[in-house]
Structures are given as structure tokens and as C-alpha cells.
Amino acid sequence: MSNSQSFPRALPLIFDLYRDSAIGVVGCWSRGLQRDSCELDVLVAGDSRKPPATVNLKGTVVDLIFVDEKEVLSPRDPEKSVAIALMKPVKDSSLIFSTAMAAQGAVLADSMKKSASFRLGLALKALGRAEEALEGGRPPEADFWAQACAFDFARAFLYTKETMPAPSHLFSQMKGRSVGAAKSFEAFVKGASLGAASREACRMRLEGVGVLYDGQLSSATRAEGPGWGEERLETVKTKVEQLSRSKEHSESFSFLGQEMVAAMSSMGLPLGETLVADLGLTRTRDAVERTIPLLKSQVSALARRL
């Protein structure tokens, strides 16, 4: 089973690097959502002790994710189960990915539901932290957690619509899948502060995310988290530039917001005033207070439907 002809020229190089491993494509490339700037997400069955890596092969940025065969066949993470069920095997002589896809495809609806529940749990925790920060007189921190809540709520909502979220497509996915659910879309847009999106706001947030990346690169624990290397940052910049050219500022601001949340969640929240402004964490106490009830209402409504 091979779909390699529809993917970038980088794949033969990956085949050469991992001759004895099954290889599959996940993420937006596996679902036909990709833009030219999207990285290629590749699962490599083999040594799962290897940390994820981002590399540039023949002009294509590739995110390599290493998994062992046991985890492929019986993933503990429901989101990983969804990704495996929807993946595209491109090198699978052992049929491990084909077998895994069949197994995870049989439980796809259940995995989608579990993934939605997981993301809703994260959204509720973020909502609680936003309220605590407001009570403590820390509006930028409350703004951050409200945005974190909005992104996890959006992912949960999409899973209930049997749609796997894609970070740099999240705004358009929510817009397309929330027909008949206007309040859910409103909660996401207002919670994520997408009304502030503009070319300049995206430029400033990109600068702020770059500073956060520098902090991750200098951290002794960076290998335990996502790939924060220079290739990753260049990918983010390329995506933002492409979205800017097509005037998709809300999509760009949303994507950068998710990058911000991922970085700040692992490195801590105390930030200087300049970085807070660059990242767009500038909503007033009253503005965040107006946003929280809308998020809480939609998170609760979605939880009742699960």
C-alpha cells in the first residue's frame, strides 16, 4: 500500500534513513489539507526512545515521530489512535501500519469521543486557572489561560464532529464544522482573542513566539518537550508568511496562539511587559471577564453531549 506519489520528494530520503522501519504520513498531508508551507508529519515504527525531530529534506520540513510497534498496534493515547486510523502508510512491507489502521479504524468513533473528553478536561483546567488569575489581579495570565481554554475547546468540538484538528487550519476547521453551532464558534473566536488578529498583530506575535522558542532552546529540559529547534521556528515563520499573503490573519493568529500556549505551558508564565504585548496578552480584566462565561457555557454544553 503506497501513497508516496502524492507526497513530497523528501520521502525517498526518509526511506533511505530508516530502511527497516514502516513509515506513514499523519497530519494535514494525510487528509489533503496541506498548504505549501505545511510540514510533513511522519510516523516511523522503530525505536520510540528517540525524541521527535524536525529536519529539512530537499526543501520539505519533516517532523519525525518515532513509535514502537506495540504502541502503534495498541496506542494508549486516544488522539494517537485517531491519527493512526487516518494515516497514510507509504512504506509498510511488514503490514504493521495496515494492521494498526484496521484495528484503530474499528474503534475510531470511540477514540474521537475519548479525545474530545480529554481536550474538554484540559479546557476546564485552563478555565479554572483563568478565573484564579482574574481573582488574583493578573489580567495577562487570565488572558493566556482563556486562550488556552479556547484552543482545547475547539479541538474537543472538532473531535465531536469526527474531524481531527490541525493546528494551522484550526480556524477554518471550526468555521466549517460549526454550521448550526454559532455559539461554539463565537466562544472559540472570542476566547482565542481572534478579533485582535491583523497583519501587524501576527507579526508581533511571531516575534514573541520566537523569544519563547529561544527560551526553549536554552532550557536543559527542551528534549522532553516538542521540537523547538531552528527548523521548527522557520516552519512557523513560513506558515505565517503564507497566511499573511492570503490575508488569513485569523488563521495565522490562532496558529501562533497555539504555539504560544505550547511553549509557555512548559516554560512557565512570568513574562516582561514587552513580551506580553508582543504575544497579544493585552485584554483588560473586564474583557476577559466577559469572555469566561461564554467559554464556560459552551464547554459545559459540549460536555453534556458526550
Rounded CA separation 30/211 (Å): 31
Tens of pLDDT, residue by residue over 95-148, are 999 999 999 999 999 999 999 999 999 999 999 999 999 999 999 999 999 999
- Give the span between the Cα atoms of 225 and 216, in whole angstroms: 9
Q: What is the pLDDT of residue 226?
A: 47
Mean pLDDT for 67-74 is 91
Report the distance separating Cα 10 and Cα 190, nearest Å: 39
For residue 268, the model assigns a pLDDT of 65
The confidence score (pLDDT) of residue 215 equals 75
Q: Does the pLDDT of residue 93 top 60, yes or no?
A: yes
Tens digits of residue pLDDT in 171-209: 999 999 999 999 999 999 999 999 999 999 999 999 999
Identify the pLDDT of residue 221: 47
Place of cell 459552551: 298
Write the DSSP symbol of residue 225.
S
Describe the strand order of the beta sheet including 60-67 as a list of residue ranges: 53-57, 60-67, 40-45, 23-26, 88-91
pLDDT for 217 equals 58
Looking at residue 220, its pLDDT comes to: 45
Confidence category of residue 5, pLDDT binned at 50, 70, 90? very low
Query: 41-62: per-residue pLDDT in tens?
Result: 999 997 767 888 888 888 888 9
The C-alpha cell of 242 is what?
Answer: 503564507
Listed by start position, the domains of the chain span 4-106, 109-305
As a whole number, the mean pLDDT across the chain is: 90
Read off the pLDDT of each residue in 78-103 and give the average, rounded to a whole number.
96
pTM: 0.91
Say what the pLDDT of residue 54 is: 85
DSSP assignment string, 58-74: TTEEEEEEEE-HHHHHS
Fold adopted by 4-106: Beta Polymerase; domain 2 (3.30.460)
- pLDDT confidence tier of residue 269, bands split at 50, 70 and 90: low
CB 269 within 8 A of CB 141: yes
> For the residues 256-278, what does the mean pLDDT come to?
86
